[in-house]
């Protein structure tokens, strides 16, 4: 039987989850003969090494990517600038690679996939999008006879947590952010999450798997959740909607329209029940209409679970003596929707006099209005 040696780049939240699952599932995974033999960390001290008697810890990540005894490199250290050359090095040295790094893969995914194929190895990254939810495998494998027309998701747990607090508990943005930070759902600098960059990165990866296209960050119309005000929530409530942070990619006349931002969601739609830090992705297609997957989008074991699934795919291919298939083989020319074709419904809440509103209504071409009073203040929507 071929023994498979694994090198971890990173042994933090996700890395320790991988070690934990492989230890617990050893009997069930025995046929694959998987062994984590080495792991790279930033801070190495004797007590830390003592916690992992079977794993050689090192501060030299590159020594793992070119170690002739390592078969699979699992990258869970994050970052782009220092990590990209490590993955290139691993692939060039004939290592199969599994990664959870959406920042890196949204930018360099196509290039690294090509390099993996040139070196006859696998490159899988299910954990990079929505943690535990196996959306990339589903998109890659379950739509061969179908055509996806839209993929939409709550793909950033931090902004979903904050908006849920603001909608359900009436908290202000700063208060909701502080609560998210206290619980570890938001980083000290939350810009990536609350300004929609993280969701945009994930949407780029989803677009490759759903449509075969390779859009760039600049192709995403991105809006964060930081500018939302109490009036926005009041207006949404008045019309019976809730607010959700969505990433949406859809085809309009075969051109891709990509948006990230807060959306009004009907209480009848399944997205409205995806609350706090949870994630969900809805896929619309010609044959199957709407399918939704939901679950934890982050966390040690949920994310590590997706990594193990990729590892099993690679391990099975190794034992069968075959090259792992490309993660996705869908390829289509990238065509981005021009701004004049990109139409979206908007809810505009205005606090204004009836006379001025009548004037604005004509000027803006507003077709439907509903006046209401919130806390004694008249609004026109």
Ligand X SMILES: NC(=O)c1ccc[n+]([C@@H]2O[C@H](COP(=O)([O-])OP(=O)(O)OC[C@H]3O[C@@H](n4cnc5c(N)ncnc54)[C@H](OP(=O)(O)O)[C@@H]3O)[C@@H](O)[C@H]2O)c1
248 binds ligand X (CB under 6 A): no
Applying CB under 6 A, the site for ligand X has a residue count of: 23
| Residue 132 vs 260, nearer CB to ligand X | 132
**Residue of 5, 13, 226, 334 interacting with ligand X (CB under 6 A):** 13
202 is catalytic: yes
| Residue 303 vs 328, nearer CB to ligand X | 303
Beta-carbon count within 10 A of 29 CB: 16
**Which phi and psi (to 5°) does residue 7 adopt?**
-115, 130
The one segment of 41-49, 138-146, 203-211, 236-244 that binds ligand X by CB under 6 A: 41-49
| Residue 185 vs 211, nearer CB to ligand X | 185
Which residue's Cβ lies closest to ligand X?
12
Residues in region 270-329 near ligand X by CB under 6 A: 298-299, 303
131 binds ligand X (CB under 6 A): yes
| Residue 101 vs 313, nearer CB to ligand X | 101
Q: Which two tokens stand for residue 329?
A: 């083989």
43 binds ligand X (CB under 6 A): yes
Q: Which two tokens stand for residue 200?
A: 């945009």
Q: What is the CA radius of gyration of the chain?
A: 23
**Residue of 6, 77, 112, 236 interacting with ligand X (CB under 6 A):** 77
The b/e string for 220-250 (b: 16+ C-beta within 10 A; e otherwise) is bbbbbbeebeeebbbbbebeebbbbbbbbbb
The one segment of 5-13, 134-142, 276-284, 334-342 that binds ligand X by CB under 6 A: 5-13
101 binds ligand X (CB under 6 A): yes
Break the chain down into helix, strand, coil percent, rounded to 5: 40, 20, 35
> What CA–CA distance (Å, rounded) separates 349 from 241?
14
| Residue 313 vs 380, nearer CB to ligand X | 313
> Which among 25, 92, 95, 202 is annotated as catalytic?
202
19 binds ligand X (CB under 6 A): no
Q: Is 376 left (phi over 0), alpha (psi -120 to 50) or beta?
A: left
CB-CB contact of 164 with 225 (8 Å): no
Q: Half-sphere exposure of 211 toward its Cβ, with a 13 Å CA cutoff?
A: 28
| Residue 41 vs 246, nearer CB to ligand X | 41
CB-CB contact of 332 with 210 (8 Å): no
Beta-carbon count within 10 A of 94 CB: 13
Minimal distance in Å, beta carbon 10 to ligand X?
A: 3
CB-CB contact of 69 with 95 (8 Å): no
**Residue of 6, 14, 90, 176 interacting with ligand X (CB under 6 A):** 14
**Residue of 15, 109, 196, 245 interacting with ligand X (CB under 6 A):** 15
Strand-pair category, 96-99 with 72-75 = parallel
CB-CB contact of 326 with 117 (8 Å): yes
Beta-carbon count within 10 A of 274 CB: 24
134 binds ligand X (CB under 6 A): no
Minimal distance in Å, beta carbon 202 to ligand X?
A: 10
The residues that are catalytic are: 202
Per CB under 6 A, residues contacting ligand X are 10-15, 40-43, 61, 76-78, 82, 100-102, 127, 131, 298-299, 303
């Amino acid at each position: 039987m071929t023994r498979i040696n694994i090198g971890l780049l990173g042994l933090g939240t996700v890395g320790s989850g991988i070690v934990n699952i492989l230890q617990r599932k050893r009997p069930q995974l025995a046929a694959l003969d998987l062994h984590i033999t080495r792991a790279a960390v930033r801070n190495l001290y004797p007590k830390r090494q003592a916690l992992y008697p079977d794993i050689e810890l090192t501060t030299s990540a590159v020594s793992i990517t070119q170690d002739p005894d390592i078969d699979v490199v699992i990258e869970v250290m994050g970052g782009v600038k220092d990590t990209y050359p490590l993955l290139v090095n691993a692939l060039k040295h004939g290592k199969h690679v599994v990664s959870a790094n959406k920042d890196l893969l949204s930018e360099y995914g196509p290039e690294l996939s090509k390099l993996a194929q040139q070196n006859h190895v696998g490159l899988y990254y299910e954990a990079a999008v929505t943690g535990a939810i196996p959306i990339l495998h589903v998109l890659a494998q379950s739509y061969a006879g179908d055509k996806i027309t839209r993929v939409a998701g709550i793909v950033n747990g931090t902004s979903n947590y904050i908006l849920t607090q603001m909608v359900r508990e009436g908290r202000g943005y700063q208060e909701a952010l502080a609560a998210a930070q206290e619980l570890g759902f938001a980083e000290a600098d939350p810009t990536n999450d609350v300004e929609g960059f993280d969701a945009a990165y994930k949407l780029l990866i989803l677009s490759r798997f759903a449509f075969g296209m390779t859009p760039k960050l600049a192709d995403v119309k991105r809006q964060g959740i930081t500018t939302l005000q109490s009036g926005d929530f009041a207006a949404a409530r008045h019309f019976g909607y809730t607010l959700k942070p969505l990433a949406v990619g859809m085809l309009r006349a075969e051109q891709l329209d990509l948006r990230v931002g807060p959306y009004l969601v009907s209480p009848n739609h399944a997205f409205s029940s995806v609350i706090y830090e949870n994630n969900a992705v809805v896929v619309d297609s010609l044959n199957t209409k709407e399918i939704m997957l939901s679950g934890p989008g982050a966390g040690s074991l949920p994310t590590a679970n997706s990594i193990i699934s990729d590892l099993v795919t690679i391990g099975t291919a190794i034992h069968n003596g075959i090259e792992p298939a490309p993660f996705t083989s869908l390829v289509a020319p990238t065509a981005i929707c021009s701004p004049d074709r990109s139409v979206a419904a908007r809810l505009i809440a205005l606090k204004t006099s009836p006379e001025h509103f009548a004037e604005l209504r004509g000027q803006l071409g507003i077709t439907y209005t509903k006046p209401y009073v919130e806390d004694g203040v008249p609004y026109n929507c």
